[in-house]
Structure 1
């Protein structure tokens, strides 16, 4: 511990609580801003405040807001550069709040991952130096800035649902966010702090849509269980259930007077309900496919529905009469929003576009193109000037409705973005995603201060050269990148295919790289020149994994065609095929002596093969879901496998016996790697984490949480440098610090 922590630890708990709680406010109140600056940039203070039971992350974040008081501007010690440092640290803590709420031990790695940039102020560079000097327990230290830095549009992440988040709404006072999920619950959040306030439980199916009444007192949820529920938003009490639809309820809207709700369903109808009595008033029929969305005009006179039949319909809300139909989309229409003046409506479709229509005439005014996949949701800012769209391409786009131009894209979700809402003041956007999170974004901000390098799509595999100097990453963006391992600098890009790169391996001589593609081929590259040497063809489906024998003479490929192939690396000839799995082969490795191959499959098994004759030796049974990763200990005695059943299993290779199982909580393990000395194992998970395990004690000794699911990992020959790739395209370079004799 540092000097601050040592002195504090010697005091009574009552003193510690009072001191930590009043230190920052008292310094600002007394005008001692220099001491305030020093305190808020001191790692000891930050650690103590976060770890103290009665405080935590949010009270610490609040301490940084004290500098914004009107009186502080008049203090002689007020320093704008130091204030900038405070705001960047505060922003980093806010971005990492959802991680630190469950794992405070990651404070050091989170600050490093978000603040490690040469352009950062000296105060922040000094803070990072202090962290490295004073941190005494094992931790993963980012060598490059690979987490979303502060100063950009992303404000915070709301983490708590255990399945896809389908819906989001903001209360009229702008203070709370309500989310709906496939996990059958609604959650109510404090928007200012990110705190989960309470959960609404009662649906027996997914919560697909939510709407808040204009008075902010009730929320209506639409569900896959064919019902809607009306809740008291103050108490969390369920008031009543609206029953009548014969299929999933996909959308709900509330009239401006708060007296009626309109629901849209997969049963091809809309229903209008009395919100006071729960009575169904009438049903609107006319669509020939699922009704996916509904919106009400600001005057409460009309409503617009969007359907899988590729149309929108405009209805008279008082009489239930269909007024006219809007035709123009070439695929299902998923969402609709109306401008505040009631003159235009914006529709979002599976044809990857948004269309803007005149509500008076039904005329299509123009189309907004830019998303690369289905557009699933749309919202309009309160001033009617901007449109925000959410897409299955994992992004949100902000458009200027007057100029018809895309303003910018919000990147950060690692899976489909299903819903979007704008705060009443028009300053923030909240998005909901299949990645189980909600994200809060600044809509108006300065240009992003710092940018992160990487691929433009998921990094599927990483490999280190035998000399430990370079890393090769393979990605869904059809490229391989070569990096300098010491500094994380990109050296070159290898392009040769028009399809996803799924796997990569380096030949033991360090001179060639083999990559596997979605187009069923492998390419052998000259690493120094970047030249494509030759292509290996023979699989009938995409290739998931590739391995090279220790002598560098043979390559083994694993494919979705359920087989493995063994190739002569010198000639490019296929030697033989390994058949036996009944599903995709996801991973493959070779024993250190080069005599055996171990494969992992979607049939929940691993198979051990004789590489000399291609015969199956035996099968390892024990996983209850697909096996997607496998490695062998350096002594060749043990096999380690990872599975979609959220476990890692360690097997005795000579006997085939299962030795023990490591549980990875509630998420699947995507990849595993061993340190060359065989003492530690690294696992990469869909819960965005990288874990380092001590194999002898079976304990996790260090954890790093990224912004996206971590899909792959590898370890350098030094036993300490770890490289991982994630679903957003980032490559993380990390060093395992404070390992003592374990390295």
Structure 2
């Protein structure tokens, strides 16, 4: 039946049919007896047309509903096995697709190509997952195979080598019946919580992808946002019924409901001590609540239709984002008095999301104008504009170490950004619909996104960074502070870097032990702190975040004299 070489054959799962692919550009489905050369039938079942070149490889999904084919016309095509109509065309390769394989869980397709790459595809929506797996020298990739647990992909190449790759996407949670608006990681690193327009909060096991327990519900109103208390025992949510609810993590029940807003509650935030909650409403008010007493401490009339409100790290200011008829989009208020501090100008449309860097020096905003902007919080001047999204930027999140920004957009992607240079990290993380929210795990190794396809997706950050050659972004940043530093030099004379700060003292040793900060007893030094011949005095006036423990140096004086600490933390100085 074929008019050229037959290069590939596959059985259907039930053994009732055989599919063949040929250099004639056709994929044909045959009765099983033709496959086993029974001369009695040889009956042609279907002739699939769509490829414009040789069909090199074939794969059938486990449920038998979809057939997938790869061709030398660079495309991968998906076919409905009931109607035999083409469902989708996956494009991205720039040369022959020589092999395809499906992950054990049936969610991911891997393709191997003459273009020197292997690619991963989400079989639910046909979108690429992460950037292409680039092989050195663009060597031809002949084949690909998943490990039995689906966590690794092996590829075989023309250079006579095999390569092993981590798979970036771990799982996809499904269970909500409407759009997922918010997602947070829960204590322990094994669970996430999602909130949705279906009026529910749901908890998920990250390893199995299974929902834990039943829905959390209190009424039928859409739940727009959720935030975890610092002690991990409670969550607070904001809803379309204008209410703020406090939930108990252990019971999944509402502890109390706060009312007072005159519009949908679009944003909620905790203070660091867990004593207060900040909520923001589309009706234009930002309200601060005393958690224990359930009373309103502060009401700020922002004259914005609010979408977001956050505390500065030192909790002295509140940043708000939204829009009004005066084309005002970001306003900063004093946390104690509620008075306006400044109005930031730069965005041209609604600001949906805000984030403050841990050191408090930079505010970040995402907008309907498709841009992400960074602002200096001393001068309130715009620092940078991050452009790559092609639709509204609806959610942003900063990694725990402060070096990576994640953005969620209506362009159906999430993106990772290097905050040190403002550049994108790797290709966008593709989704099948609008992406509304993003949340990092506490160790920064997982990113979870919420999508308008009613699913939440979890992505492996180390794998994405490794592919981009930016593994170091998982580490905590080196310190760059105006310290007074004395270090030994080759001529035995100390080299001193001076500081404009004047108040110094010597007092407390700090040691880094197994990534935990240890505070031994206070010691008064009788002589120069030597160790390895290094002394560093940190000014009282300069609070900052540093080291692999994200220590916040409070306004008291610290002396550091541990050599191994210096070499690891201050290597860039």
Contact kept, 8 Å, 1:152 with 1:446, in 2: the verdict is no
User: What is residue 341 of structure 1 aligned with on the other side?
Assistant: 359
Rate the CA distance shift 1:373–1:123 in 2: closer, same or farther, 3 A. closer
Aligned counterparts of 1:187 and 1:341: Cα–Cα separation in 2:
32
Give secondary structure in 2 for the equivalent of 1:264. strand
Runs of 5+ consecutive residues of structure 2 not aligned to the other structure: 1-61, 64-99, 109-122, 130-140, 149-163, 468-573
Where does structure 1 differ by over 6 angstroms across 4 or more consecutive aligned residues? none
Paired position in structure 2 for 1:211? 227
Q: Structure 1 regions of 5+ residues with no counterpart?
A: 1-45, 48-87, 98-108, 125-148, 450-743
Structure 1 pair 285–119 and aligned structure 2 pair: CA distance change class (3 A): same
TM-score, scaled relative to structure 2: 0.53
Q: Establish whether residue 260 from structure 1 lines up as the match of residue 276 from structure 2.
A: yes
In the other structure, the counterpart of 2:494 is none
CA deviation after TM superposition for structure 1 residue 345, in Å: 1.2
Offset, 1:206: 0.6
Relative distance call for 1:381 and 1:446 in structure 2 (3 A) is closer
Return the offset for 1:360: 2.2
Aligned to 1:432: 450
Contact kept, 8 Å, 1:151 with 1:448, in 2: the verdict is: no
Alignment partner, residue 329 of structure 1: 347
Q: Are 1:284 and 2:311 an aligned pair?
A: no
Cα displacement (A) at 1:410: 3.7
Match of 1:328, SS state, is coil
CA distance in 1, matches of 2:175, 2:269: 25
Distance 1:95 1:229 in 2: 39
Q: Is the 8 A contact 2:396 2:437 kept in 1?
A: yes
Assess, with a 3 A threshold, how the Cα gap between structure 1 residues 123 and 169 changes in structure 2: closer, same or farther. closer
Q: Secondary structure at the match of 1:420?
A: strand
Counterpart in the other structure of 2:243: 227
2:144 maps to: 120
Q: Give me the CA root mean square deviation.
A: 2.9
For residue 144 of structure 2, give the secondary structure of its aligned residue in structure 1. Answer: coil
**Superposition pairs of residues 483-562 of structure 1, within 5 angstroms:** none
Q: TM-score scaled by structure 1?
A: 0.41
| 2:103 alignment counterpart | 92
Q: How far off is 1:434 after superposition?
A: 0.7
Structure 1: distance between partners of 2:171 and 2:278: 32
Give the Cα–Cα distance (whole angstroms) in 1 for the partners of residues 221 and 461 of structure 2: 33
> Secondary structure at 1:283's aligned position in 2?
strand
Identify the residue that residue 191 of structure 1 maps to in structure 2.
Answer: 206
In structure 2, the residue matched to 1:357 is 375
CA 1:122–1:262 in structure 2 vs 1: closer, same or farther (change >3 Å)? closer
> 2-side partners of 1:95 and 1:319: how far apart?
56
CA pair 190-286 structure 1, distance change in 2 beyond 3 A: same
Cα pair distance change 1:122/1:439, threshold 3 Å: closer
Equivalent residues in 2 for 1:164-183 (5 A)?
164-183=179-198
Please say if 1:370 is aligned against 2:365. no
> Residue 156 of structure 1 aligns with which residue?
171
CA distance in 2, matches of 1:327, 1:210: 28
1:255-654 map, 5 Å: 255-287=271-303, 289-309=304-324, 310-445=328-463
Q: Assess if the C-alpha contact under 8 Å between 1:172 and 1:214 holds in 2.
A: no
Partner secondary structure for residue 444 of structure 1: helix
Q: Secondary structure at the match of 1:270?
A: strand
Structure 2 distance, partners of 1:340, 1:93, is: 40
Q: Is the 8 A contact 1:348 1:377 kept in 2?
A: yes
1:214 deviates by 0.6
> Quick one: structure 1 residues 253 and 93, their matched pair in 2 at CA, closer, same or farther if it must change by over 3 Å?
farther
Query: In 1, distance between residues paired with 2:436 and 2:297?
Result: 30
Aligned length: 323
Whole-angstrom CA distance in 2 between matches of 1:197 and 1:268: 36
In structure 1, what is the Cα distance between the partners aligned to 2:373 and 2:338? 25
